[in-house]
Amino acid sequence: MADELNATYITLGGHVEINKYRYVYFFIMLLVYILIICSNSAIVYLIYVHQNLHEPMYIFIAALLINSLLYSTNIYPKLLIDFLSEKQIISYSACLFQFQIFYSLASSEFLLLSAMAYDRYVSICKPLQYHTIMRKTTVSILLLFAWLVPACHVAVLTILSAETTLCDSTLKGIFCNNSIYKLQCVTSRVITIHGVVSLIDLSILPMLFIIFTYTKIFIVTYRSCREVRKKAAETCLPHLMVLISFSILSAYDISIARVESNFPKTARLIMTLQMILYHSLFNPLIYGLKMKEISKHLKRLFCPDKFI
């Protein structure tokens, strides 16, 4: 009996009436995935090919959009396969791999937003020192830090989870997030402590840093002329909108492992879909419309006749 429960394969039990609506789910999510790929890739391409966008601010935006592409690619292909499959299953090792990539990239989002906030802080509060501080080396170190540190943090949780014994083989979700802890016979104290430390290091501290830098920016711009306030609003507002939306969805994901089993399945599915739908579409929309230079190049890309 113990061997049966400690199964190699896990059933993804978060789908709602999949047999009835499998093709509807498939085509909607396929369309969304194509939109995510096209919208994020278009802006990354523009930043890559246009020399005037080779500035730290735009490089961080490109990194954020690449992060969104990887984040979606970690989930959507498997999700699309599950919609067309008779059984929605995944091996425990593949589940842990998806867990690793999901939380590494989600945490990288906070650190990339922190790097962007620091860039804006230096640009607006220390404009004369900007090119001295935000050199190519500094940008490269910040990017490396934003991707490597979360990967190492989450790798510890993944390794610890791989060594635990499972007492259930049905995951109440459509992909592998922290709901996997509900499958474990006993919640490890080490996993719990490391999870709290990771939450503080990768989410709470970056958010506090962003709040601090933007508070300083608002103080400086409030005392400055109208032109400075306008520039600050154009570059800082999109970052804040992305941060707020991602923080709300992250708060839901963090709490999902604590939600009781009687939480409505449909409501759980809707909230989970919002985590993988909105943010990856929201980023390119915000930066494409709100960032003046990117918006200008997008118009030239899709409406070239107007600029001849």
174-210 pLDDT per residue, tens: 899 888 888 888 878 888 888 889 889 998 899 999 9
Q: How confident is the model at residue 305, as a pLDDT?
A: 55
Cβ neighbours, 10 Å, residue 105: 23
Q: How confident is the model at residue 205, as a pLDDT?
A: 92
pTM of the model: 0.88
CATH number listed for the domain at residues 2-307: 1.20.1070.10
Q: Where are the domains of the chain?
A: 2-307
Residue that is written with structure tokens 């400055």 in the block: 224
Cβ neighbors of 9 (< 8 A, separation 6 or more) are 89, 90, 91, 92, 169
Using 50 as the pLDDT threshold, list the residues of the chain that sit under it.
1-6, 308
Q: How confident is the model at residue 259, as a pLDDT?
A: 59
